[in-house]
Amino acid sequence: MESPDPTPAKANAGGDPAPPAESLLPLQAEAIEVFVRLARLFGQPKSVGEIYGLIYISPEPMPMDVIASRLNLSKGSTSQGLRLLKGLGAVRPIYQVGDRRDFYTAETSLKKLVGGYLDDAIIPLLNQGQDRLAHLQRLLEEDGGLTAEQRVFFDERVNKLNKWHERAHQLFPLIRKFLGTS
């Protein structure tokens, strides 16, 4: 006799418990956990790691409704996660003859995954950082109410941030070259 699923069923929009997700093999559950941890490392929601992990460890492309059901996620959360993963180039839609749904398969090339993450998440953040650092520098120069001690301290910290930013801008082209994405 099979033991019941220990995962509590989530409620759907009507408040009724969702049907239990099709059970995952232990290997699949562990692979999904690997991607959940990676997603959290990169500041992404747990559901994004779950979605990518399930698609990654599944031998066949999967439609959104099956992904949602297998992971016991809402369709909204699944849709949002898939949209993010598509934007990063981590999953791609696959056409299935005779089925109107989009099916998804995982991108497994580290070069493409890291390149997509750099382009869509890191580089824009660095570009915004440049503007913020320029603003910090202006504030430091304009603030006449600082003591000499405060000015030295803040000047040192802003300069250190500028150096970190410059090093990051130097590092990412090297990462791209290493991965062969430049």
Q: Which residues pair with 62 in a beta bridge?
A: 104
Rounded Cα distance between 7 and 28, Å, is 15
Distances (CA, A) of 68 to 18, 20, 21, 57, 94: 10, 11, 8, 15, 17
- Tallying the residues shown for the chain, one arrives at 182
Q: What is the pTM of this model?
A: 0.64
Tens-binned pLDDT, residue by residue, of the chain (182 aa) = 444 444 433 444 444 333 444 688 899 999 999 999 989 988 889 999 999 999 999 999 999 999 999 999 999 999 999 999 998 889 999 999 999 999 999 998 877 777 767 776 677 777 777 888 888 888 888 877 888 898 899 889 988 988 888 888 788 777 777 767 65
